[in-house]
Amino acid sequence: MFALGFGLGTKNKKGEWLEAFFPAPILSPEREIVGIVKKNTSYTDGNRDLALSAKEISECAREIKDTEQKKLLEKLASSSMPKVISVIETDGAVKSTPEAYLKLHLLSTRLAKPNGMNLENIFTCLPTVAWTSDGAIDPNELEEVIMENRLRGKHIEIFSLDKFPRMTNYVIPSGVRIAHSARIRLGAFLGEGTTVMHEGFVNFNAGTTGPNMVEGRISQGVVVGSGTDLGGSASTAGTLSGGGNVLITIGKDCLISANAGTGIPLGDRCTIEAGLYITPGTLVRVLDEDRKTIKEVKARELSGQSDMLFIRNSLSGVVECRTNRNAISLNPLLHDNN
């Protein structure tokens, strides 16, 4: 068994799931819990999500020995919101909205790491939702809701129309600081000690191992190693669009300076100067410690190597790769987020 989660969700007027909240997802659940679920619900096998009654959840709660899980199920049973269980027997392509949300919860709760699960088909299974001060609403039902609120003299705030909600409406990781919560999607993985400033952005299935300073953008699939600093408006190439298929990893103690970026994986202790974007096809002149040219290569041939300093020669305009003798060091006081 891969994972399961008991939760609450929101449906539209057609009875379709818009979103699901799993407060304590379980990775690799014990046979005992799976047996309790099979006994007290209609679940038999496979990857399935089921709408549950309060009675079914209460019966599961009575038999579960884990105190925290028991208390959680008792709380869920008392809610008037639609109740759901998502069971993932095998890690295959995503087949439903609750299953998609369970996998996103596994990432943001640090139970699963980026690129460690099958997220194929997730966009098909995530409906576009109006995220509002009144909760999740089907965009096709939004005008009616706005009118109903106005007639009562109320104002509804619409934060976004998107497939992904903000992470902090579902999961609060320990030991992190997030200056602008709307810029962290559910499914982001933020390691302990990570600080994300106002212009920082972390997509789903991407993130940091911590501690890290993030003032730039971490695209889908990108993983940033501990001690690395992404400067203001720095960016990393993802694989969702544009034909890229190489997963970008950035090693430990690197610096991607302001307005810089990378489309190739980097090892440890690498630096890219401000304003320089390294694409796989960028022609790079590799220099030795005496600043003599060794060779000229396309940047993809340097993928994953450590101790590289990428700069643009101010006289010739040529991109150079030198030995990086000075690894960056984050200020520990800024990343003690407890």
Q: Active-site residue numbers?
A: 215
Q: How far is CA 192 from CA 31, 108, 146, 178, 299, in A?
A: 31, 12, 40, 12, 32
Task: Tell me which DSSP letter residue 247 carries.
Answer: P
Cis, bond preceding 332 (omega within 30 deg of 0): no
Q: Cβ of 331: how many Cβ atoms within 10 Å?
A: 11
Question: How far does Cα 64 stand from its chain's mean position?
Answer: 30
3-state secondary structure of 212: strand
Q: Where are the beta strands (DSSP E) in 175-282?
A: 177-178, 188-190, 194-196, 201-202, 206-208, 212-214, 217-218, 223-224, 229-230, 235-236, 249-250, 255-256, 261-262, 271-272, 277-278
